[in-house]
Structures are given as C-alpha cells and as structure tokens.
Amino acid sequence: MLTRFAPSPTGELHLGHAYSALLAHDAARRAGGRFRLRIDDIDGSRSREAYVAAALADLAWLGIDRDGPLHRQSQHLGAYDAALGALKARGLVYPCFCTRADIAASLAAPHGPAGAVYPGTCRALDAAEHARRVAGEAHCWRIDMARAVARAGDLMWEEAGQGMRRADPRTHGDIVLARKDAPASYHLASTLDDAAMGVTHVIRGADLIAATDVHRLLQALLGLPVPVYRHHALVCGPDGRRLAKRDAAAALGALRDGGIDGHALAADLLAGRLPAGYSLRMP
Ligand code: GLU
C-alpha cells in the first residue's frame, strides 16, 4: 500500500488537513506500506515556500513521518505537458480563448459539480482557426468531454469499504486541463502524479469525490493504473461548516503555539475524537 497527503501551499494547514494526513499515514503504516508527501504547487502565483515549511513542521508535530523525497508538482511540469501533448495528438483537447466574462455572459450555461459548465464555444472553431489563434492569444486547453467519454467507455472505481462506483465525468462538461497561467490543472497534475508516485490508495476529503469522476476518465485515456479511493468525512467548525482558512483557531500552527500535544491530538483525531466544538460530517 502506498498513500499520500497532497497539500497546496496556499495557506496554513488546519484540523481538517491533519485528519486527512493522519488517515492516509495510518492506513499505510498499519499495512506495512509507504506514505508520501506531495506539494501541490503548480499555482505559482498563490504558492508560498513559507507554507511548505509550516506544513512540514505541522506534520512532524503530529508524529507523521514520510517515505521518499517530497514530490513537488512544480518540478514535474514536463510530465504534465507530455500528457497534454498525447491528448492533443488524439484530438481529445482543444484550445479555448474565452475569458471568464465570456463564459459568465452565456447565462444559459448549466451547472456541474464544480460550478458553471463551459458552453463549448471554442470547441466549434475549426482546426485552422485554433492553430492561428493559439500562436497569438492567451488560451487554456479543455477536454472534449463527449469525445473523451465515448473513447473511454464505462468507468468504475472502488470506494474502500463501499464497493464499486460508476464515474460520470459528463456532468463536468469540457473542463480545463491546462490553464492560461499554469501548465496543468489540478485534475491533470494530480492524476498523473498519483500514478507516477505509485499511489495505491487515494485517501482524501469527500469534498473531492466529484473530482474522482474526472481523474478516473484521465486514467482511462492515459493508460494509468486506478487506485482505490477513500473519501472521508470533513472536519467542521463550531458553525457546522467545513473548515477553511478563515478558521484561524483551527490552524495547526496556532494549536501548536498554544501548547497542545501534537501526538495526543493525532491519537484523538484517528479515534474520531475532535476538540470541543468540532465535528466530522459527510458533505
Ligand atoms: N492539493 C489538493 C488539495 O489540497 C489535493 C487534493 C487531493 O488529495 O487530490 O485539495
């Protein structure tokens, strides 16, 4: 078994991150397997080195040890680009020149799991126009979802302890695989890295269950192994909402500075005992 924890260094880790990292670490250790740490830092404008250092300190304080080197997404851009190139060569992605305002203006756009579904405007452009505009205009690359789904066929994944689930990526529409300002989207980078790192069990919050539809599709298109998934309940604050950066009191750095024993907190979280006011909920 190989599990991983993959924080984005765009803020401090909080109790929700601790719970996720502990579940992944504990599953690997119980099975005599390995646990790896990945830094999801493809978003260069929002990632900060100080948050990487803070995350390492937080995990050490919780008693989480890791195997192998840190896997930093910013050091694997070539792999994302190569995968995108393979999808381009098969006509499964197309360049999109729309701005956010263009997309918002198409009021009829239906909504998918991650917000408005792209109306497909640039899918309709012909190859010559794509080629001409790619050379001079800012663009992202979108998957041609209908074509990709037709190519991939029926898609299933194993949700640990719950059996097989059917992936339905169509509701996401033509999502972005490479952004205007970053070489890969979360979906492409995460799917490729889970395979490259040899992850056998993806343990992450249930807020990401819809993302698994897309990841399963990319695995099929790119010939990648399919890990087992476990989407766990989310830590919610006293207001009943899942933790976010606004919940400064739940930041691991603040708890550490307040004299909390990290190993004791880790044992409590693993046993499902949360600090007063916090709870675990499925979204
Ligand atoms: N960097 C992502 C996050 O923090 C990781 C998601 C995942 O585990 O796949 O939400």
Q: What is the pLDDT of residue 108?
A: 65
Residue tagged 């195997």 (tokens): 67
- Quick one: which atom of ligand 1 is closest to the CA of 202? 8
In angstroms, the Cα distances linking 162 to 157, 176, 229, 231, 270 are 11, 30, 10, 11, 20
Length of the chain: 283
Given the residues 90, 180, 245, 246, the one annotated as active site = 245
Tell me the CA–centroid distance for residue 205 and ligand 1, in Å: 8
Query: By percentage, how much of the chain surpasses pLDDT 90?
Result: 88
Give residue-wise pLDDT tens across range 114-173.
777 899 999 999 999 999 999 999 999 999 999 999 999 999 999 999 999 999 999 999
Give the C-alpha separation, 217 to 168, whole Å: 9
In the numeric block, the tokens 């990648």 are attached to: 224
Would you call 265 exposed, middle or buried from its count of C-beta atoms within 10 A (0-12, 13-18, 19+)? buried
Counting ligand 1 atoms within 8 A of each CB, the residue from 52, 204, 228, 230 with the most, and so the one to mutate, is 204
Residue 168 has which token pair? 């339905």
245 in active site = yes
Q: Cα(186) to centroid of ligand 1, in Å?
A: 8
Q: Distances in Å between the alpha carbon of 231 and those of 116, 140, 279, 281?
A: 24, 29, 16, 12
* Separation of CA 40 and ligand 1 centre (Å): 7
| pLDDT tens profile 102-117 | 888 775 667 778 777 8
pTM, 2 dp: 0.96
Q: How far is the CA of 8 from the centre of ligand 1 (A)?
A: 7
Q: Is 12 in contact with 260 (CB distance < 8 Å)?
A: no
**CA separation for the pair 47, 44 (Å, rounded):** 5
Given pLDDT bands bounded at 50, 70 and 90, which one contains residue 83?
Answer: very high
φ, ψ for residue 16, nearest 5 deg: -65, -40
Pick the atom of ligand 1 nearest to 40's CA.
1
For the chain, which domains are there? Answer: 2-75+233-281 (3.40.50.620), 84-178 (3.90.800.10)
* The ligand 1 atom nearest the CA atom of 17: 4
Residue 15: which residues within 8 A CB-CB, separation 6 or more? 235, 243, 250, 252, 255, 269, 274, 275, 278
Pocket of ligand 1 (CB under 6 A): 6-8, 40, 190, 204, 208
- Whose tokens are 């970053």? That residue is 182
Q: Rounded distance, CA 152 to CA 72, Å?
A: 29
